[in-house]
């Protein structure tokens, strides 16, 4: 960490009347936070940017919290897997696990031994699913069926796996930021903004820049909620995916549904019914005895006559 940043952190502690944690200072000087530190240093290099540097520092703190939460979650997951492996090795020496142990020891090749050990792990995991991390419980390792809810799926849920590779090529973080935009930022912002794309520094997939298209007159509200949006996005991914948000200059497009387009097309093509039906239609109506059915066919005949000129 440069002396310029150190002096700024000391001044910021005086303004806040509280000290910054040593872990945050160490993280800010590490390789993970290199992008944030460079951004903060560029901001401090310009005179009169003390207030903006304070905003950048708060963004650094949000990124540190997200990164620290991911690290704790990853350590907990590793610890759980280690406990699972220890319990599995003890289970092989019990009466239930001895048949699998005999098959593992009697395997002729390394591939057969690995397959047999994998089957033994699955059998142990099915009997003890609580020993595995949550992200392992719905995978093929345990063969545990996921919880299914009786609800209808929309076209978006069914077709997203098809369009996701194309969205990934546009630079969107796993395309999840587009799919879950309303869940991340809330319905109020989602109705007036659209996530456009994400750009990352060279050879990196963290601390990216998110470009947002906004409805006219909504830019000020976005700028007011920048830190909150960044925190929600990083909390959604579990790591520091976004460190900066920019408002795109492209036009905000309102996407109409297919039903809206069909309704507009039908309404634009409607014609005024004729005053009377054609002679051929009148002859056909004479054979209809039901008055309601006859009236319906008569109205249809008037529309057909008006459309045919």
Instruction: Give tens-digit pLDDT for 241-255.
Output: 888 888 887 766 655
Per-residue confidence at 256, pLDDT binned at 50, 70, 90? very low
Residues paired with 193 in a beta bridge:
214
Q: Residue 254 has what pLDDT?
A: 59
In a 10 Å sphere around its CB, with 0-12 CB exposed, 13-18 middle and 19+ buried, how is residue 252 labelled?
A: middle
DSSP string over 35-92: HHHHHHHHHHHSTT-HHHHHHHHHHHHHHHHHHHHHHHHHHHHHHHHHHHHHHHHHHH
pLDDT at 285 over 60: yes
Give the tokens for residue 137: 């419980």
Pairwise pLDDT comparison (17 vs 290), residue with the higher score? 290
Window from 15-29, 54-68, 71-85 with minimum mean pLDDT: 71-85
User: Comparing C-alpha atoms, which of 196, 197, 175, 193 is closest to residue 185?
Assistant: 193
Cα(172)–Cα(83) distance, integer angstroms: 36
pLDDT at 34 over 70: yes
Compute the Cα dihedral for 51, 55, 58, 60 and give only its sign: negative
Cα(195)–Cα(233) distance, integer angstroms: 11
pLDDT (average), residues 93-117: 83
pLDDT at 94 over 80: yes
User: Comparing C-alpha atoms, which of 131, 116, 143, 140 is closest to residue 86?
Assistant: 131
In order of 153, 258, 288, 289, 292, the CA distances from 281 in angstroms are: 46, 35, 11, 15, 16
Instruction: Give tens-digit pLDDT for 120-162.
Output: 888 787 777 777 766 555 444 444 333 444 455 555 555 555 6
Per-residue confidence at 4, pLDDT binned at 50, 70, 90? confident
User: Comparing C-alpha atoms, which of 244, 265, 297 is closest to residue 38?
Assistant: 244
Window from 15-19, 67-71, 163-167, 174-178 with minimum mean pLDDT: 163-167
| Buried b / exposed e along 191-206 (16+ C-beta atoms within 10 A) | ebbbbbbbebeeeeeb
Instruction: Give tens-digit pLDDT for 163-206.
Output: 555 555 545 454 677 777 888 888 878 888 888 778 878 877 77
pTM of the model: 0.32
pLDDT at 236 over 60: yes
Q: Residue 136 has what pLDDT?
A: 58
Window from 137-146, 207-216, 298-307 with minimum mean pLDDT: 137-146
Q: Residue 163 has what pLDDT?
A: 57
Cα(227)–Cα(221) distance, integer angstroms: 12
Q: Residue 257 has what pLDDT?
A: 47
Residues paired with 213 in a beta bridge:
194
Q: Residue 141 has what pLDDT?
A: 42
Mean pLDDT of the chain: 76
Question: Which H or E run includes 247?
Answer: strand 242-247
Pairwise pLDDT comparison (130 vs 42), residue with the higher score? 42
Q: Residue 150 has what pLDDT?
A: 45
Per-residue confidence at 23, pLDDT binned at 50, 70, 90? confident
């Amino acid at each position: 960490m440069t002396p310029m940043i150190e002096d700024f952190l000391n001044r910021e502690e005086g303004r806040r009347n509280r000290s910054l944690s040593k872990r945050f200072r160490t993280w800010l000087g590490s390789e993970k936070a290199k992008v944030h530190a460079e951004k903060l240093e560029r901001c401090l290099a310009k005179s009169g940017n003390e207030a903006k540097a304070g905003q950048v520092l708060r963004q650094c703190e949000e990124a540190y919290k997200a990164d620290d939460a991911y690290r704790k979650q990853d350590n907990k997951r590793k610890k759980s897997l280690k406990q699972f492996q220890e319990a599995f090795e003890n289970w092989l020496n019990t009466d239930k696990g001895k048949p699998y142990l005999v098959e593992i020891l009697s395997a002729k090749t390394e591939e057969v031994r690995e397959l047999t050990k994998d089957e033994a792990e699955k059998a142990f995991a099915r009997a003890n699913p609580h020993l595995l991390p949550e992200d392992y419980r719905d995978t093929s390792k345990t063969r545990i069926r996921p919880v299914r809810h009786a609800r209808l799926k929309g076209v978006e849920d069914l077709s997203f796996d098809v369009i996701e590779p194309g969205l990934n090529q546009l630079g969107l973080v796993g395309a999840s930021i587009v799919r879950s935009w309303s869940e991340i930022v809330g319905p109020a912002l989602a109705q007036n903004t659209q996530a456009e794309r994400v750009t990352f520094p060279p050879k990196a997939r963290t601390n990216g820049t998110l470009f947002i298209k906004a409805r006219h007159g909504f830019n000020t509200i976005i700028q007011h909620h920048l830190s909150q949006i960044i925190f929600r996005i990083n909390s959604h991914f579990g790591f520091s995916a976004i460190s900066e948000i920019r408002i795109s200059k492209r036009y905000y497009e309102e996407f109409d549904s297919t039903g809206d387009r069909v309704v507009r097309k039908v309404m634009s093509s409607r014609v005024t019914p004729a005053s009377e039906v054609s002679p051929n239609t009148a002859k056909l109506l004479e054979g209809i005895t039901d008055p309601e059915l006859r009236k319906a066919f008569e109205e249809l005949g008037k529309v057909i006559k008006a459309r045919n000129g």
